Structure 1
């Protein structure tokens, strides 16, 4: 049955297709007994049950004083409290503002101030970090669990006490619109103060809606392995809510337990960020490698091991380019055979690759990716309380991603590097991404980060920081010999540093700024000091 349209513009979906409150109410009627949220311990929440939980918690937040459109800070790890808080705040038309659970000190003070929140929902273990930190407009803490909290810097309300009658109507001042702000997601903050990305309901819908991710259907179950303060963690529940489908919420990614949890939760799809796919592929093979329910996986980035991953685990691979600010502008078909690609431009999106002056580069040349969409409000609405950063990113009517790409003659895009992470060595521009990909092909390397360090000859030297596959050891000389045969001479790292694990944010991004600040340490191996020099090949005419 065709529903009457809410808006004259056909590009804008109905409210009950893209606004959380109306979506939940719709499915609670149409799919009352279908599971929407499942947990690793086997508990399931149907749409009907979830609606009651959400309405009861929303009534509690309303009694506390949370108003429609108000920003509410949420500082929680993944779990039941986090997902109910997310849904309940949006049910009131309030803005969900999650904080990274690694925040502390000045960075924590920055996001508290930037959020403009009066209320913070917080795990008790995080409360001590608020001591001695400027709390800006914060008035009250809502603390989860029934544990007592000593020395809290603000009045405390117990989260479990925020419960109202799920039968309450919870009237709104006005209907929640697709262009209203749903969330503020903070960028990783590894290279400077975090920016709060303003995302509307329509932005979140466009991020992984039917036109963005056509391979995802109402019968799929999405295994969410990222923290809820990351777009990769808060996006999946909304992606599946928009389809009337289900999501499996787990605490975090574990190489050893991944496939067993996927099977136990009957998950059919997963998003593998960063080195997750590498970790899974480099784990010891098991007879049960295909004994699971996963059928589809997004692998970001798409590595040369994609075919081996499909063969070993029986999973179709897709890839994508996305970031918190945009809405999946580049998506691939199943099992792309162009290694390293992110896919092609999806319907409803325009993409340009440009130079430093926003002038388009030729096909095959490297340029910064600029994006805009046909649908209004389908990308970010700017950076919260940061008009300068908003103007810089949105100049000339396009959103500037800060990522360098190239495009081939067939229309496929290839990520080259973050513009700020590019390395220039002896006249050659080097992609840290491509260096890392080659280093990770070594069977003993679990993960790698390539950075620029100062050279005595001007420009940069290439340094890689590597961590081993469990149970194996990395010999720097042997790794250097492997790389000399695998990559152009100018890309071969001069410096190799060994760590048990690379420093990462809780959203699995390597903290390159920290590694750059440490530079060449006393335990770093120097290829040239070891007598291994790599020279340009000469060819006779």
Structure 2
């Protein structure tokens, strides 16, 4: 292994920390990050990353320990992520909507030792019945004193953390196979699992994104998506740093302010969840719709009925692709030979096929499961943290099984059909039906529950809760909604609620969710129509 921060060009394609060090050596005065109009050069970023790394190690953390980041979009998020990588620590992005059992599971299952957060979010941690035994230190940003602090842990301010490191202290060696992050899945078949990323996986994902998007060092890449998602972390931030470009970070998505932020930042590329495109299209047309520098946009999904009018109105080229937490983005619709409606061709490091139910390669046009193999080492997940059986269960016949249905055409382009799992996707968030149902079943009088997808006007899913009640029981829908809102992250709270006398079941007693999806909403109660909305914490 090579020591982090040396001038080895090869290291720039092996570790996250090495990539930053190499770009700082190449062009130290070039802007790397732009947040709220303030710029941080590559040289300044490199120095700040080392300062954070030494501060984290000064808490007593050792390489391999986990650092949880419970933060909205801000520059300290990036410094903590990169500082952890340089210290050989493992970043754990935590969704800021998590609370209660979801927050507890995120911290406990990943073994978080240090948590970096804001005063306003620290109360969610303090409210937990018990803290994970691994959590020893909480680092709080900003000057405001938190209203509540978790008992039994050391609480440091951000300046205090930075000042605690030894400026002359040596940093550990970090290699391409060493873990750099644990990303939490949506938990489609149960509780969320921690996906362990090797360093090289993140760097190769960034490299391939830059290649597929044709990104140059002169560009400015923008994201307002939350940094606790891979879309913002890798597809824009690390992608931009790999290309030597400038990354412009937005706080959050606002349809009314979006294009003004794009213009002010001189942005040439951005990424968007599929649901963002129709929201932007729904804004009133303006004479300034093409008054921007954006040339390319990465967005998934981008169905033709959205892609074509968006490109026509705003004068951009949309690139669609496909990936999963465990394997990174592995398909891109190529810039020069795009087929609208396709999710693209495999990247240079990826082997993908579509297999039938017998495990044989499906013929072009034949539906089957999309399966994957890497061509290189350390470019897919190392496993689910602490769950070797679950890791092995995803492999069959030496292929990693995505659980998604698709097909190919005669030219080898891939097309997505649907998810095999009982997962939902809403506002860009993957949702576990299992976890939603566990909360529904905890409500008095509910004897059976199913959470299924129902079409959204934004092109993804809304959550429909279908319930079976105790005989003679009446349901207060508003109270049930409030129950779900208290227990679930805002994006998981069902919008629609429907009661049936009996849920359709298989001979083995499992709910026929296909039947429920086909039946649709019917006369379901609509929380949005009732003027209710899930609570957001940030």
> Is the pair's TM-score, using the shorter chain for normalization, greater than 0.5?
yes
SS at match of 2:96: coil
Query: Where does residue 229 of structure 1 map in the other structure?
Result: 228
Query: Where does residue 272 of structure 2 map in the other structure?
Result: 272
Instruction: State the 1:280 CA deviation.
Output: 1.2
Q: Distance in 1 between matches of 2:141 and 2:270?
A: 29
Instruction: State the 1:199 CA deviation.
Output: 0.8
| Cα pair 1:76 1:122 within 8 Å, conserved | yes
Match of 1:96 among 83, 91, 94: 91
| Cα pair 1:32 1:48 within 8 Å, conserved | yes
Query: Where does residue 27 of structure 2 map in the other structure?
Result: 31
Structural mapping, 1:78-477, within 5 Å: 78-130=73-125, 131-136=127-132, 137-152=134-149, 153=151, 154-164=153-163, 168-173=167-172, 175-189=173-187, 192-210=190-208, 213=212, 215-235=214-234, 236-304=236-304, 305-334=306-335, 338-421=339-422, 464-467=454-457
**Compared with structure 1, are the counterparts of its residues 298 and 525 closer, same or farther at alpha carbon in structure 2 (3 Å cutoff)?**
closer
**Deviation string, structure 1 residues 374-420 (Cα, Å, up to 9, x no partner):** 11111111111111221111333221111111112222111111112
| Cα pair 1:53 1:166 within 8 Å, conserved | no
Instruction: State the 1:185 CA deviation.
Output: 1.0
Gaps spanning 5+ residues in structure 2: where?
Answer: 3-7, 434-449, 460-483, 502-519, 524-538
**Deviation string, structure 1 residues 92-151 (Cα, Å, up to 9, x no partner):** 121111111111111211121111122211221122222233322212211111222243
| Cα pair 2:321 2:343 within 8 Å, conserved | yes
Q: Distance in 2 between matches of 1:162 and 1:468?
A: 43
**Deviation string, structure 1 residues 141-170 (Cα, Å, up to 9, x no partner):** 111112222432233111221124999344
Instruction: State the 1:84 CA deviation.
Output: 1.2
Q: Distance in 2 between matches of 1:178 and 1:107?
A: 31
Instruction: State the 1:272 CA deviation.
Output: 1.4
Q: Distance in 2 between matches of 1:158 and 1:79?
A: 16
Count of aligned residue pairs for this structure pair? 447
Instruction: State the 1:341 CA deviation.
Output: 0.9
Instruction: State the 1:249 CA deviation.
Output: 0.9
Instruction: State the 1:20 CA deviation.
Output: 2.3
Q: Distance in 2 between matches of 1:14 and 1:70?
A: 26
Q: Distance in 1 between matches of 2:62 and 2:307?
A: 47
Q: Distance in 2 between matches of 1:333 and 1:413?
A: 12
Gaps spanning 5+ residues in structure 1: where?
Answer: 7-11, 423-431, 437-448, 452-459, 470-502, 528-541
| Cα pair 2:222 2:247 within 8 Å, conserved | yes
Q: CA RMSD in A?
A: 3.4
Instruction: State the 1:210 CA deviation.
Output: 4.2
Query: Where does residue 425 of structure 1 map in the other structure?
Result: none
- Runs (4 or more) in structure 1 with deviation over 6 Å come to none
Query: Where does residue 77 of structure 1 map in the other structure?
Result: 72
| Cα pair 1:55 1:166 within 8 Å, conserved | no
TM-score under structure 1 length normalisation: 0.75
| Cα pair 1:274 1:509 within 8 Å, conserved | no
Instruction: State the 1:356 CA deviation.
Output: 3.9
TM-score under structure 2 length normalisation: 0.76
**Compared with structure 1, are the counterparts of its residues 521 and 303 closer, same or farther at alpha carbon in structure 2 (3 Å cutoff)?**
farther
1:14 and 2:15 equivalent? no
Q: Distance in 2 between matches of 1:146 and 1:509?
A: 28
Stretch deviating more after TM superposition (313-322 or 163-172) = 163-172
| Cα pair 1:32 1:47 within 8 Å, conserved | yes
**Compared with structure 1, are the counterparts of its residues 148 and 281 closer, same or farther at alpha carbon in structure 2 (3 Å cutoff)?**
same
Query: Where does residue 507 of structure 2 map in the other structure?
Result: none
Q: Distance in 1 between matches of 2:163 and 2:15?
A: 22
Instruction: State the 1:282 CA deviation.
Output: 2.1
Instruction: State the 1:219 CA deviation.
Output: 2.0
SS at match of 1:223: strand
| Cα pair 1:184 1:196 within 8 Å, conserved | yes
| Cα pair 2:220 2:266 within 8 Å, conserved | yes
**Deviation string, structure 1 residues 315-357 (Cα, Å, up to 9, x no partner):** 1121111122113221112286633210112223211212344
Match of 2:47 among 52, 58, 67: 52
Instruction: State the 1:50 CA deviation.
Output: 1.5
SS at match of 2:43: helix
**Compared with structure 1, are the counterparts of its residues 157 and 351 closer, same or farther at alpha carbon in structure 2 (3 Å cutoff)?**
same
